Structure 1
Amino acid sequence: MKDWLTAREIAAEQLPDMPASESAVIRLAGRSEWDGSALARKRPGRGGATEYHLSLFPVLAQVAYQQKHIVIELPVKPAKAAPDAGLTARAQLERDARLAIVAVFERFSRTLKLGYATRVQVFTDKYNAGSLNIEPWAREIIPNLSKRSLARWQSQKRDGKVNALAHDPAQARKGTGILETANDGAVSAFMLALLGHQPHLSGHHVRTMCRSEFGDTVKVVSKGVETEIPMPPVRTFQHALKGLKEKHKVELLKLTNPDRYRSHMAPAGVGMLRHVTDPNQLWQIDASPVDALCIDGRHAVYACIDIATRRTVWLLSRTPRASAVALLIRKAILEWGVPDVVKTDNGSDFVAKDTQRLFASLGIEAETSDAYSPEQKGHVERVIKTFQHDMATLLPGFVGHSVTDRKAIESRKSFAQRLGEDDASVFGVTLTGPQLQDHVDEWASVVYQHRPHAGLKNATPFATALASTKPVRKVDERALDLLLMPVAGSDGQRIVTKLGIRIDGHHYMTPAILPGTAVFVRQDPNDAGRAYAFAQDGAEFLGDAICPELSGIHPETLVRAAKEMRNELVEEKTRDLKADMKRIAKGVPLIERALEVARRDAPNVIPLPKRDHVHSTPQISAAIEALGERLNPSQPLDPAAAAAHRRLIDEMKAEDEQQLFADTDALIRRRQAEIEAHRTAHLPKNANVVALPETSRERYRRAVSFRKKLDTNTLPAADAVWLGGYEQTAEFRAQQGMHEDFGDAYLS
């Protein structure tokens, strides 16, 4: 629709309230001063006639003109809707129709000098009356238009909520079907479980299973009332199954076809290894059967890819085995250097002890991906696919990439066999395994490494590796070959005996290794009579092991030489030992050394006297009586002798008491002297010294000495007053009880 018209075009429209001739329109423009306004312009191009904007026309003329020329259709560039994968096709059509109507209304009312309510009223009336040019699809979706709906749509568009304009009546009823709500959703859940268990069940099968599970009726809620209805017909089940498959397609695919789910719907990261920027920082290894036959059968191809540079190394093997992995690692290390990390899957050839031992010996960190998670080593998976589709397709003996291709080729093979043709003629097999290996190596070095790679920003693997400045860790080829040698038995562990090392029923003599030594043994594949013995961790070479039977050496000659070497070895190892033994023999006897150590370890503790009581038996009493007759005769002493005996006992008691008092006073004086000596030695002069507090035992000793002096009337009055008060305390009674239990030894 044109917004600018000349006088001739205006007259040709025959609009109401407007002149019907060109001259009359020109005179109207002159009277209304249209020419001097900003809404009049010279027409570009030839002629130079004046054009007038639509907004200069009377309202009725504007409405009539727009009614005639405006068209409600989907815009060429529809308003961009917020992404919403949940919108159905019907909902998107509903949204687009409403957006188109809003856009037309805004254009319709742009030039009308009327209020908003009037413009809405005029537009809705014209729309409902069918006076506007409306495309059939829009009229079918929105047959009638109300003022409130138009205003609401404008508001939603203005707020950017254009997807809120979408509406699908079928979606509004979604989840309210009979089978979806029957038995509180139990029927729908059971049907979904049936699809997960057997996705090929038909509607008839599912209905039969539901009748077996729930009976011939189901419970539904209609207008808030629960009722029982007969089991719906098969057609209803077919529609319900279609909806379940659409709604739960991801879950069902995960349960029924895990491989397809993993390749099409499982989360996959892009650029997850962009932090790997240095060559040999990370390698990935995997294997796959080659999609081509050789004369000596079908081979498996092992691929190793350096993540940072995308270089590849390939190795063919008849069967997957740990030795093939070792040879691939050897080939890659000799060409690129030693890697930091090698990532593999959980295949038996990758997690074998020999493979893990090789990684440990070379100082390579081995990582394994989770089971059934090929996406964790996607780079090597992708390069194997590139090899199969880029090179294997060109090989003679190609057997196809998929099961479908292989079935077709097998059918052709079966038909050819009926005609008497062999496999070589059917498939064109002409290559042997070594020839195929040569072709693969040349393809990797000539084609693949010079091909631009998107992951390298379109650089080639060759150029990327060449640009790296990281030092390459190299390994001596001979040492690498030795590390690749097979181990003895399953784990290579052996114990050296006087006969040497036993391997496969043969004894290998080890004169340089003492008996009883645990060793790790590798066998020389080129010399059956030689083996190499290392420390158990493989980090130290201990010596050669020679089998005279297999090496062609006379056993007597080898045994004689081994004895001489063993004697020299033992003599060297025992020379210092013998000297130490002589020094020990001439020194202090061992018993004296032991007793001296025991004396140092003995605790420096004096035990307190134990509480005791007299133990007696009839026999003990009789023995005491026999001895007492000699010490205490049964005949009584005369009075004079008895008096002398009592005096002697009294004198002995007095001497003991005086000695006890003297010891107590000496102890107090000694303690005071020790305190004074400590103060003199450690404290400055004129320092205030606080005496250590007197212990309860020392106070009790003082009280005992004061009691003796009191009995002899030699105790000062002040000390007598202290003694009287102290004897009333609980401390005195406790100390007195201990004195009675342990005797005078307690006071010492």
Structure 2
Amino acid sequence: MRRWMDNADTHNGTYTPQGRRHFTLTPAMHEALARWNGNAAATYRELVADGIFGSPPRVSQATFYRAVDRELTPGQRAALRGGEAARRRHDVHALRPHGNRNDVWETDHVEASVFVNVDGRRCKPWITWFIDHATAIICGLAITPHQPSQDAILAAARDAILCTDHHRPSGGIPRKIRTDRGRDFLGKCVDEAFKKFGTELIVLPPYSPHLKGTVEAINGAAKHMLFKGLPGYAHTPRSRRDRRGQPLWALDELLDYETFVTVVLDWVDWWNNDHTIARLYRRTPAQAWHADLTPIDTLDPGDLHTYTLTDGGPPRKITSKGVRWKSAYYVGEWMHGHSSAGEMVRLRHEPHHYHRVELYDADTLTYRGPAFRSDEMSPRQARELRNARRREADRYAAKAHRARKNATPRYAATSVAAAPEPLNRLTASQAAAQLRELQTPEGHLQAEARPDLLNRPQPASTRWTKPLSAPKPQDTE
């Protein structure tokens, strides 16, 4: 009885039976296991070869395996094998309190796992959306056929905040928005827009998708519930008859971009109005949104459009050719009768949208109207320019690949211990010819020169008057 009471005292008042004696790992064994990246078999062979277990070994391989499983958690074993990213898969995270609607939104980009036909080219579109954390409703989104930037974020924000016309009934101004450390979300234009809304932008630490689990869950739902059923799915399993290196889907089998956008919008409506979620007590996101009576703060569409534009710099004058900006003139119908009067306007535009700008009075900031680039190129010129840029990029990519291949030394294969023997050796004349080709042209050297690091030369013309030199001090001794 006394032994039982002493055992309970040493285990915080709970009697804990003494287990059987078992083998334990020493610090040297832990170091060997880490050196072999969690490979228990290789670690055991090394310890036996070093005589750690004696000769013959007193610890069997099965005993060593049981000790590793007993002393290391699954997360620790995964960290030894795959690093920090593998260890994080075994972490346990607490659930956030749901709160009320528009308390916190979450936003993210997701790449569609579907190839789409965009002007005769196969591309994977990207989706940017804003999700209400409390109700898991998709408030707004924007789709781009390429990797999104700040203009996609602002377009999705406008779609999420507005609740009238063709926009969804869910929206308003959120109090907080959680986002990752993506470069686009940290841009100056996005930060200034949310500050004007009075919304706090919460930038989460890196490698922490669990801190915005609602939008990550919808990203996964879109990949499994939408993209897998569409033609052009990028991860479709291949058969033996499929030619390696060839696209699995022909270009005419892919959805065009407009059809893809329609399909995504239909799926968003289904998610909001028909899909039930367990944590919402088997209600749809729309039902949970309407059941919450928290007041919604809104903005006038005109003010919202102004807040989500980038300032174009100092005020500009309306001339007979329009308003000049970025080496181009912008004109609008409302400008007739206002040129040559010295009227000053402020220019604002969407990021990366240079075909249209919005003009405001320089003093009162009253909206004057839109203006469009007067010398816009034709669709044929745009197509020819795009093809020329692609050919130029392919040519330089081939040059870079050839240069890397030539710069990589090659050595002869050996089956015995020997010094490496280089293979790509040239003759003296070949080496001299390549040196002449690789030398930088004189024009490039002049462009890269820094004349401010050297003394300026004296003028060679005799017509220039040279400055008088300072008189030398006289010797008074």
**TM-score strictly above 0.5:** yes
Letter of the 1:307 counterpart: H
The one of 197, 207, 213 equivalent to 2:46 is 207
* Corresponding residue to 1:292 among 114, 117, 121: 114
State the TM-score, normalizing by the size of structure 1.
Answer: 0.39
> Of residues 129, 148, 157 in structure 2, which corresponds to 1:329?
157
Distance in 2 (CA, whole Å) between partners of 1:443 and 1:547 is 36
- 1:268 and 1:525, CA in 2 relative to 1: closer, same or farther beyond 3 A? closer
Aligned counterpart for 1:302 among listed residues 125, 128, 132: 128
CA contact (8 A) 1:294 1:397 kept: yes
- Pair 1:455 & 2:279 matched: yes
What is the TM-score when the length of structure 2 is the normalising length? 0.59
Render the CA deviation track for 1:609-628: whole Å, top value 9, x for unaligned: xxxxxxxxxxxxxxxxxxxx
Matched, 1:393 2:199: no
Q: Is the 8 A contact 2:349 2:357 kept in 1?
A: no
Query: Counterpart of 2:467?
Result: none
Q: 2:93 aligns with which of 241, 246, 268?
A: 268
Q: What is the identity, as a one-letter code, of the residue corresponding to 1:316?
A: I
1:253 aligns with 2:253: no
Distance 1:525 1:154 in 2: 76
Residue equivalent to 1:173: 22
- Equivalent residues of 2:316, 2:347 under 8 A apart: no
Letter in 2 for 1:433: Y
Match in the other structure for 2:248: 423
| Residue aligning to 1:588 | none
List alignment gaps of at least 5 residues for structure 1: 1-147, 219-228, 401-405, 553-748
Counterpart check, 1:503 vs 2:352: no
User: Is 1:360 aligned with 2:191?
Assistant: no
One-letter amino acid of the counterpart of residue 108, structure 2:
D
Residues 357/482 of structure 1: CA separation in 2 closer, same or farther (3 Å cut)? same
Tell me the equivalent position of 1:565.
none
Shift in Å, 1:203: 2.4
What is the deviation of 1:478?
3.6
Residue equivalent to 2:143: 316
* Bigger-Rg structure (1/2): 1
- How far apart, CA to CA, are the structure 2 residues paired with 1:373 and 1:252? 21
Distance 1:457 1:505, change over 3 A: same
Shift of 1:350: 1.6
**Structure 1: how far apart are the matches of 2:194 and 2:183?**
15
Query: Equivalences for 1:42-57 in 2 at 5 Å?
Result: none
Counterpart Cα distance in 2 of 1:155 and 1:217: 40
Identity %: 18
- Alpha-carbon distance change, 205 to 156 in structure 1, aligned in 2, over 3 angstroms: closer
C-alpha separation in 2, matches of 1:315 and 1:498: 34
CA gap of 1:161–1:189, structure 2 versus 1, over 3 A, is closer
Q: Which residue of 1 aligns with 2:389?
A: none
Give distance in 2, aligned partners of 1:303 and 1:207. 53
Q: Is the 8 A contact 1:522 1:531 kept in 2?
A: yes
423 and 479 in structure 1: CA distance in 2 versus 1, 3 angstrom threshold:
farther
The C-alpha deviation readout for 1:106-128, integer Å capped at 9, x for no partner, is xxxxxxxxxxxxxxxxxxxxxxx
Provide the residue aligned with 1:439 in structure 2: 263
2:31 — aligned with what? 190
Secondary structure at the counterpart of residue 159 of structure 2: helix
Amino acid at match of 2:349: R
RMSD: 4.6
Q: Compare relative contact order (CA 8 Å, sep 6+) and give the higher one, 1 or 2.
A: 2
Structure 2 contact 102–175 (Cα < 8 Å) conserved: yes
**What residue is the counterpart of 2:423 in the other structure?**
none
Corresponding residue for 1:532? 359
Task: Tell me by how many angstroms 1:392 deviates.
Answer: 2.4
1:317 and 1:505 map into 2 onto residues whose CA distance is 27
The match for 1:493 is 313
Q: In the aligned structure 2, how far is the partner of 1:164 from the partner of 1:473?
A: 59
Residue identity opposite 1:315 in structure 2: A
Residue by residue over 1:121-149, the C-alpha shift from the partner in whole angstroms, topping out at 9 and shown as x without a partner, is: xxxxxxxxxxxxxxxxxxxxxxxxxxx8x
Q: Deviations 1:56-80 (Å, cap 9, x if unpaired)?
A: xxxxxxxxxxxxxxxxxxxxxxxxx
Unaligned runs of 5+ in 2: 163-167, 331-338, 377-477
Change (3 A) 1:501 1:233: farther
Residues 203 and 235 in structure 1, CA contact (< 8 A), matched pair in contact too: no
CA offsets 1:390-423 (integer angstroms, 9 cap, x no match): 22232223334xxxxx6xx2x43x84236x9863
Aligned to 1:282: 104
Instruction: Please report how far the alpha carbon of residue 365 of structure 1 lies from its aligned counterpart in structure 2 after TM superposition.
Output: 1.9
Opposite residue 431 of structure 1, the aligned amino acid is L
Change (3 A) 1:233 1:502: farther
Quote the Cα distance in structure 1 between the aligned partners of 2:260 and 2:370.
39
Query: Is residue 495–residue 501 contact of structure 1 (8 Å, CA) maintained in 2?
Result: no
Q: How many residues align?
A: 348
* Deviation string, structure 1 residues 640-694 (Cα, Å, up to 9, x no partner): xxxxxxxxxxxxxxxxxxxxxxxxxxxxxxxxxxxxxxxxxxxxxxxxxxxxxxx
Amino acid at match of 1:352: G
Residue 375 (structure 1) shift: 0.6
